[in-house]
Structure 1
Amino acid sequence: MVLSCQDVRKTFGANVVLDGLTLDVGEHEVVALIGASGSGKSTLLRCVNLLAEIDDGTIRLDGEDITDPRINPDAVRQKIGLVFQSYNLFPHMTVLDNITLAPVRVHKRPVAEAREQAHEWLKRVGLADKAGAYPDRLSGGQQQRVAIVRALVNNPRLLLLDEVTSALDPELVGEVLTMIRDLKGDGMTMVLATHEMGFARQVADRVAFLDKGKVLEEGPPAQVLGEPVEPRTRQFLARIIEAGRL
């Protein structure tokens, strides 16, 4: 098991965000997290990447308890890529410099090696001609693909994607989803929080519906999205269908 979350609890003051959540992610598996805003999707991803400290439970990466206080969080984050919906690219740095910053500064890789790998990824995602461009010269879809490449050049064991299409114009969503679909084909292990139900149906091996900080229902996309068992899941999906998003 690449990722194992057991009885994870996280509170912010009196607000219980994760309430004994349990979720496993296997090798090469893509798990889509769905649920209403506030259900705990983004908080779970931040806890897995150790950007938020859990209050109880355990999170294991390849069997190692990464929530053990003795663990070096920076060492763990080198194994996990996290991509946010807001890109978070440095505006004063070129695309190439954004991508190579962590490999060179954090991982101490030779500059030439980091740049070569960055160019290879940019070519692969159709952005070979954008290496010297600044983020404000790119479309939202291009910026998000650069943000994903920035996570991939560190060769992560696990890739976390937090609503990576929600900030994009509808016509730009497809190019990002195509990239993620290609990563699945490469065997990348991924956990993605998404409101794109059609995409979850196409790319996920398993869908987990979160409600009030718990995994209320999980299973193959066809089952969870097509024939949900739990009334709350059916209610959520009915609203998604009404909004034309399924």
Structure 2
Amino acid sequence: MSLLSLSGVRKAYGDKVVLDDVSLTIDHHDVVCLIGSSGSGKSTLLRCIDLLEDIDDGVISFEGEEISDPRVDARRVRSRIGMVFQAYNLFPHLTVLENCTLAPRKVHGVSRAEAAERAMSLLSRFGLADQAAKHPDRLSGGQQQRAALVRALCNEPTLLLLDEITAALDPELVGEVLEIVRAEAAAGTTMILATHEMDFARDVATHVCFLDQGRILEQGPPSEIFTSPREERTRQFLRRVL
């Protein structure tokens, strides 16, 4: 059984169609990179998977359950999915450690001591142990994004969604965040990334999807998409960004 499947997913805001007949299958340990111009639907697709947006048509299934059914408890589904946003979205009134332990304690029922131990282990691994007692506004952008990744990983998610997580970072900070993602991919974490980092997608992804005007115009292994894309629109996009 695939971990995640989308079939005929459609999403519109009024008359503007943002996702149009999107179908995609993701297996355990896949690393799927969504590429395409800004406004092509990448972020909306991730938000629909995380049930932050309702879809207008189609089916999304996760771990064999149809999660796009409006009767599904979205909070229960999100407890198994981690999402990291471009703007970090850390709680400003909580310390880094408190940000990282909140969901394990409140959603998963993990004890305060166990949640703190797990969080500190990850913070140490990502070079943030000495920042644990600080509030997010005392951290650099790269540190905040690493803290957001730690917060997502503290829940031990089955699926990790990353939405343009390097877009708001200074160029010198992009590499340090991508190295963490690269390590998680190597460890077998299943993830879907919306990204403009083509070198990263080419090196790390198991599967690349090119989105254009809300449709997955082309998908396949990186070796195929980046060296011999079938669609002219894909070739135009890659000539611009590579």
| TM-score of the alignment, normalized to the shorter chain, above 0.5 | yes
Partner amino acid for 1:75? R
* Deviations 1:186-223 (CA, angstroms, capped at 9, x unpaired): 10000000001011111101110011111111111121
Measure how far apart 1:177 and its partner are. 0.3
Q: Which residue in the other structure is 1:164 paired with? A: 165
Partner amino acid for 2:170? D
Q: Which residue in the other structure is 2:34 paired with? A: 33
Measure how far apart 1:128 and its partner are. 1.4
Write the mapping of 1:1-246 to structure 2, written as runs, cut at 5 A.
1-240=2-241, 246=242
Measure how far apart 1:237 and its partner are. 1.0
Measure how far apart 1:185 and its partner are. 1.1
| Segment drifting more, 20-29 vs 219-228 | 219-228
RMSD: 0.9
| Segment drifting more, 113-122 vs 123-132 | 123-132
* Deviations 1:79-120 (CA, angstroms, capped at 9, x unpaired): 100100000112221110111111112222210110010001
Partner amino acid for 2:155? N
| Segment drifting more, 50-59 vs 226-235 | 226-235
Q: Secondary structure at the match of 1:90?
A: coil
- Cα distance between partner residues in 2 of 1:55 and 1:155: 30
* Deviations 1:18-39 (CA, angstroms, capped at 9, x unpaired): 1010111111000000011111
Gaps of at least 5 residues in structure 1 are 241-245
4+ long deviations beyond 4 Å: none
Q: Secondary structure at the match of 1:236?
A: helix
Q: Secondary structure at the match of 2:69?
A: coil
Partner amino acid for 1:196? E
* Deviations 1:7-66 (CA, angstroms, capped at 9, x unpaired): 000000000001010111111000000011111100000000000000000001112100
Question: Paired residues, what number?
Answer: 241
Measure how far apart 1:70 and its partner are. 1.9
* Deviations 1:108-154 (CA, angstroms, capped at 9, x unpaired): 22101100100010011111111111212211111101001101111
Q: Secondary structure at the match of 2:7?
A: strand
Measure how far apart 1:159 and its partner are. 0.2
- Cα distance between partner residues in 2 of 1:140 and 1:221: 29
Q: Secondary structure at the match of 1:19?
A: strand
- Cα distance between partner residues in 2 of 1:44 and 1:29: 17
Q: Secondary structure at the match of 1:201?
A: helix
Gaps of at least 5 residues in structure 2 are none
Partner amino acid for 1:125? F
Partner amino acid for 1:123? S
What TM-score does the superposition give when structure 2 sets the normalisation length? 0.98
